[in-house]
Amino acid sequence: MKTVHSNEEYVKMLLQDKISICLFTSFACSDCTTTKQIVADLEKDYPEIGFYLVDRNELAALSKDLGVNVVPSFFSYKNGQELSRFMTPYPKTRAEIISYINMNCQKGGSVCSKI
């Protein structure tokens, strides 16, 4: 998972012609640690997707502009278009994350490895 450190990197990520899934986290969030581990484990199963990590506090203005009120939160993009968001105040399970990834593969018109 690549870490995004600036607004410019975020824009570059979302403009890619492949699906990009961005995980917003926070240092003090224990659920974020678990979610990052799940995504890191799943990343190898979806080589056609770019997985990115954003620290909500590091990019606070961007997070506010996007409405990131809870972490962990997911945003998905392809060709500059937002495909979906997955923001809940509850921990995300492995099954929910897989379902989210697969849904975005279908929305983005991509053939993904694990569908």
In a domain, 75, yes or no: yes
Q: What is the pLDDT of residue 109?
A: 77
CA dist., res. 88 & res. 80, Å (int):
23
Joined tokens for residue 105: 């593969």
**Parallel, antiparallel, or unpaired: how do β-strands 20-25 and 50-55 relate?**
parallel
pTM for this prediction: 0.92
Instruction: Enter the tokens of residue 74.
Output: 């997911």
Distance CA 66, CA 20 (A): 16
- What's the domain range around 103? 2-107
We report the CATH number of the domain holding residue 7 as 3.40.30.10
Instruction: List, in order, residues 6 or more apart from 45 with CB less than 8 Å away.
Output: 113, 114
Higher pLDDT, 108 or 87: 87
pLDDT-derived band at 107 (thresholds 50, 70, 90) equals confident
pLDDT at 14: 94
Residues forming beta bridges with residue 78, ordered by sequence position: 81
- Between 32 and 89, residue with greater pLDDT: 32
Residues near 63 by beta carbon (within 8 Å), at least 6 away in sequence: 24, 54, 56
The answer to whether residue 61 sits within a structural domain is yes
115 belongs to a structural domain: no
In a domain, 112, yes or no: no
Beta pairing class for 81-87 and 73-78: antiparallel
Q: Are strands 50-55 and 81-87 parallel, antiparallel or unpaired?
A: unpaired
Q: Please check the confidence at residue 115 and state whether its pLDDT lies above 70.
A: no
Chain mean position to CA 109? 17
